[in-house]
Amino acid sequence: MNYYAIKAIYLHEMDRLWRTLFQSILSPVVSTSLYFIVFGSVIGGMVPQVDGVSYGSFIVPGLLMLTLLTQSLSNSSFGIYMPKFAGSIYEILAAPISSFEIVIGFVGASATKSLIVGTIILITATFFAEVRIDHPFVMVFLLVLTCFTFSLFGFLIGVLSENFEQLQVIPLIVVTPLVFLGGSLYSIEMLPEFWQQISYFNPVVYLINGMRWAFYGVSDINIWISVVSMLGFLSICIVAAMIILTKGYRIKS
Amino acid sequence: MTDKLISIQNLSKTYNDSFQALKNVSLDINKGEIFALLGPNGAGKTTLINIICGLVRPSSGSVMVNGADIIKDYKITRSQIGLVPQELTLEQFETVFQNVSYTRGLYGKSGNPTYIEKVLRDLSLWDKKKTRLGQLSGGMKRRVLIAKALSHEPSVLFLDEPTAGVDVELRQDMWRIVENLRQTGVTIILTTHYIEEAEAIADRVGVIDNGEMIVVDEKDALISKMGQKKLIIQLHEKVTNLPEELSSYELELAADGLSLSYSYDAKSSQTGITNLLQKIKDSGMKLSDLKTEQGTLEDIFVSLVNKEKK
Ligand SMILES: Nc1ncnc2c1ncn2[C@@H]1O[C@H](COP(=O)(O)OP(=O)(O)OP(=O)(O)O)[C@@H](O)[C@H]1O
Ligand SMILES: [Mg+2]
């Protein structure tokens, strides 16, 4: 293993975070705070309890997941796309590093950033709603798992994208709707029967419900199904990453 | 026999299953030499270098660096290689010192600020160490790329057109840097469009055209073997027209009317010099001096590439 290289990539990526501290941390905090104010406090005042907790508390796990997911995707997709765009990726490709080591460096840094942002969001949430965590270990596990899985997914998007448009298309038109329709702001049971059935095909539903279980012990879906489906998605991403990188697809001619 | 450092065998590259950029190239690079790769635009120089450095995959053939295969043992070969790419590809926001240290890390070496300082000082970059890359001039960026390539103490350095678009002063700096590196035992492979550059610093020269290696030889041998020589005849008195009897020779009369030059093939058994001098003597012109000049790599290059085109 080329540990120095992994460390170099990791620190290089983390540097980017410090350089852009403002947008990296402040902007997710501001936007999530807005959600808490609008949905939690305003609408929450009109909505009775959901699954035994106040509406403000109910939306915390979902909004946390929403931030983790979008942050992880954008961190790592930009992280690998930028050197590709600037051409400076040549030095990573010419260095004595394996694909696996490259992935660890980039994905590790991206996941770290998301975890930092996630922690800050969680702290912010406590200012707006009463937050209770029934299963803290499961919560941390899901947090870390989500950060790594979606950082890896974002890495793949960055590798495969040939321009900025493609880089933004997947997060924008695929992930955002899935997240909003993933039950971050409501319980699946509130939907009409037909949409409930459809929702079970949305992977984000499993994520958010897993997290909600970790917080309040309530969920539309069994926690194990949630965990297994997330691990499944992670495995798919790992296999895809290995195939794409060993073939050098869209990086090497 | 000199020690072989890089051994390229029957290397071919076809881009996108259609365009053949390298055709069965074989070449050995000796330890400690400066090798210049010449060739017109699109000849395949960058492709060849990028394959050795791991940026482009070969379609067939093999390359060994110090006995290790560039694909099977890529970690071993790449850690010995430094590459200065043709394009100025740098990120914008990092500082010079950070970025050069970053490259050293990528190559699996622990941090060594003292060494990085030395590299930056040698390249006159030390006072820019805290400057962001995006704020550097083109020539400075080129130096940073060289510093990055040297950051991990490689034993082979590839310079892909190191002096493209740099001013005369920087170019001479560059030559001095290359010469210093050679003193420390680094093997250097460079590509260039400036033939005088290859002439000034290379030990051996390879000419590549259309993906084929046309010729590889010692620089001096190449010049003397293939070069035209020029005989310069200084005249005692000014002449305005050449006498009739000399018209069968391709002579050039200098603008000042005081010298004649005669090009001939030094390899040929009949250079025609004796006859020419006899005729000049017969015509009554008086000579004040004679000298010969060696042809340049540029002449050779042009004639080789033209021959290929025919
Ligand atoms: N990624 C690529 N895909 C397709 N064709 C390519 C690619 N890279 C290079 N080529 C083609 O291969 C040929 C050789 O290119 P190469 O860059 O090796 O030339 P070069 O000798 O370095 O030229 P120059 O002096 O202009 O730098 C060119 O015709 C070029 O268009
Ligand atoms: Mg080139």
- Least Cα distance to A240 among A152, A108, A145, A109 occurs for A152
Q: How far apart are CA A193 and CA A184, in angstroms?
A: 18
Provide, as residue numbers in chain B, all residues whose Cβ is less than 8 Å from the Cβ of A252. 55-57
Return mean pLDDT, chain B: 87
Alpha helices in chain A (DSSP H): 3-19, 21, 27-35, 55-86, 90-94, 99-128, 136-160, 164-169, 176-180, 193-199, 203-216, 223-247
Judge contact between B102 and A92, C-beta under 8 A.
no
User: Quick one: DSSP state of residue B155?
Assistant: S
| Among candidates B57, B91, B106 on the partner chain, residue whose Cβ is nearest the Cβ of A95 | B106
User: What was the pLDDT predicted at A186?
Assistant: 81
The pLDDT-based confidence of A219 (bands split at 50, 70, 90) is confident
User: What was the pLDDT predicted at B227?
Assistant: 63
The pLDDT-based confidence of A28 (bands split at 50, 70, 90) is confident
Query: Which protein residues have a CB closer than 5 Å to ligand 2 (ion)?
Result: B 45-46, 86
pLDDT digit string, tens, across residues B5-52:
999 999 999 998 889 999 999 999 999 999 999 888 889 999 999 999
Bridge partners of B235, per DSSP, are: B287
**ipTM computed for the complex:** 0.86
Provide, as residue numbers in chain B, all residues whose Cβ is less than 8 Å from the Cβ of A12. 94, 102
User: What was the pLDDT predicted at A109?
Assistant: 95
Cβ contact, residue pair B56, A7, below 8 Å: no
Provide, as residue numbers in chain B, all residues whose Cβ is less than 8 Å from the Cβ of A16. 93
Q: Is B176 left (phi over 0), alpha (psi -120 to 50) or beta?
A: alpha
Q: B44 C-alpha vs ligand 1 centroid, how far in Å? A: 6
Q: B216 C-alpha vs ligand 1 centroid, how far in Å? A: 21
Name the residue with the closest Cα to ligand 1, atom 24: B41
Cβ contact, residue pair B92, A83, below 8 Å: no
Task: Please give the span between the terminal C-alpha atoms of chain A, in angstroms, as a whole number.
Answer: 25
Q: How far apart are CA B48 and CA B8, in angstroms?
A: 10
Judge contact between A72 and A142, C-beta under 8 A.
no
With CA atoms as reference, the chain A residue closest to B57 would be A253
* Residues A140-163, mean pLDDT to the nearest whole number: 92
User: What was the pLDDT predicted at A249?
Assistant: 64
User: What was the pLDDT predicted at A252?
Assistant: 67
Rounded (10°) angle between helices A223-247 and A136-160: 30
- Residue B25, C-beta contacts closer than 8 angstroms, at least 6 positions apart: B8, B10, B11, B12, B44, B48, B61, B208, B211, B212, B213
Give the pTM.
0.83
User: What was the pLDDT predicted at B154?
Assistant: 95
On the question of pLDDT at B273 being above 90, the answer is: no
Judge contact between B210 and B308, C-beta under 8 A.
yes
User: What was the pLDDT predicted at B309?
Assistant: 63
Q: B211 C-alpha vs ligand 1 centroid, how far in Å? A: 10
User: Quick one: DSSP state of residue B91?
Assistant: -
The widest CA-to-CA distance across chain B, in whole angstroms, is 77
CA of B207, nearest ligand number: 1
Q: How far is B170 from chain A (nearest CA, A)?
A: 23
Bridge partners of B212, per DSSP, are: B209
Cβ contact, residue pair A8, B79, below 8 Å: no
The pLDDT-based confidence of B188 (bands split at 50, 70, 90) is very high
Provide, as residue numbers in chain A, all residues whose Cβ is less than 8 Å from the Cβ of B108. 2-5, 95-97
Long-range pairs of B170-177 with CB within 8 A, sequence gap ≥ 24: B170/B139, B170/B142, B170/B143, B171/B197, B173/B124, B175/B200, B175/B201, B177/B122, B177/B123, B177/B146
Interface test with A, best of B106, B109, B155 (most A CBs within 10 A): B106
With CA atoms as reference, the chain A residue closest to B74 would be A96
On the question of pLDDT at B294 being above 80, the answer is: no
pLDDT digit string, tens, across residues A76-135:
999 999 888 888 889 999 999 988 899 999 999 999 999 999 999 999 888 888 888 999
| Among candidates B57, B74, B91 on the partner chain, residue whose Cβ is nearest the Cβ of A96 | B74
pLDDT greater at residue B149 or residue A201: B149
pLDDT digit string, tens, across residues A36-60:
888 877 777 777 777 778 888 888 8
On the question of pLDDT at B229 being above 80, the answer is: no
Residue B291's φ and ψ, nearest 5 degrees, are -150, 160
User: What was the pLDDT predicted at A52?
Assistant: 79
Beta-carbon contacts below 8 Å between A and B: 81
Return mean pLDDT, chain A: 87
Name the residue with the closest Cα to ligand 1, atom 30: B42
Domain positions in chain A: 3-39+52-247
- Least Cα distance to B294 among B250, B200, B230, B208 occurs for B230
* Residues B186-197, mean pLDDT to the nearest whole number: 87
Residue A12 touches partner B, C-beta closer than 8 Å: yes
**What domains are there in chain B, each with its CATH number?**
4-224 (3.40.50.300), 228-294 (3.30.70)
* Burial (Cβ within 10 Å: 0-12, 13-18, ≥19) of residue B288: exposed
* Residues A201-227, mean pLDDT to the nearest whole number: 87
User: What was the pLDDT predicted at B297?
Assistant: 67
Provide, as residue numbers in chain A, all residues whose Cβ is less than 8 Å from the Cβ of B79. 96
User: What was the pLDDT predicted at B170?
Assistant: 79
- Angle (CA) B229-B232-B237 rounded to 5° is 165
pLDDT digit string, tens, across residues B98-120:
999 999 999 999 999 999 999 99
| Among candidates B55, B90, B148 on the partner chain, residue whose Cβ is nearest the Cβ of A93 | B55
| % of chain A exceeding 90 in pLDDT | 32
On the question of pLDDT at B261 being above 80, the answer is: yes
DSSP H or E segment with residue B226? helix B219-226
* Residues A156-175, mean pLDDT to the nearest whole number: 86
On the question of pLDDT at A204 being above 90, the answer is: no
